[in-house]
Amino acid sequence: MLFDSVTGLVRVILLGASAYLALITILRISGKRTLAKMNAFDLVVTIALGSTLATILLTKDVALAEGVIAFAVLVLLQFIIAFLAIRYRWAERLVKSQARILLTCPPSAPMAQI
């Protein structure tokens, strides 16, 4: 079976377009911070936004307004964490991780041998 009913397909199309527009609008209002220069925390928020969008589309128990509020809450929480990370060193250490060197070359070994 390809689909259960035409109304289900129409619902997904209408909700999908509406939720997508709402998500794009919220991301545009929030500015470039939401998607630019992503760190691990930003990646988690982006995945959560995608999961919320999928839930809106595929779960009949979740209304569009509830999903839009969920988008706004996730973006607002991201702003709060980013603000705290800029303002307080402990918050920055909590949110941002340092890069780790996985492999080092001995100073005497040429790069071609590795």
Tens digit of pLDDT at every position of the chain (114 positions): 677 788 888 888 998 899 989 888 887 887 655 455 666 777 788 889 899 999 988 888 888 999 999 999 998 988 888 888 889 988 887 777 666 777 766 666 565 555
Give me the pLDDT at residue 38, please. Answer: 66
How many domains are there within the chain? 2
Give me the pLDDT at residue 46, please. Answer: 83
State whether 13 and 43 are in the same domain. no
State whether 57 and 7 are in the same domain. no
Residue 107 domain-assigned? no
State whether 92 and 41 are in the same domain. yes
Q: Which of 53, 68, 70 is nearest to 12 (CA)?
A: 53
- The residue segments making up the domain with residue 41 are 35-96
Angle at 54 between CA 70 and CA 12, to 5 degrees: 110
Q: Which residues of 25-37 are buried (b: 16+ CB within 10 A; e: fewer)?
A: ebbeebeeebeee
State whether 45 and 73 are in the same domain. yes
Contacts of 19 (CB under 8 A, 6+ apart): 53, 56, 57, 64, 67, 68
State whether 57 and 10 are in the same domain. no
Residue 56 domain-assigned? yes
Q: Could you say which DSSP state residue 35 is in? A: T
Give me the pLDDT at residue 108, please. Answer: 67
State whether 46 and 89 are in the same domain. yes
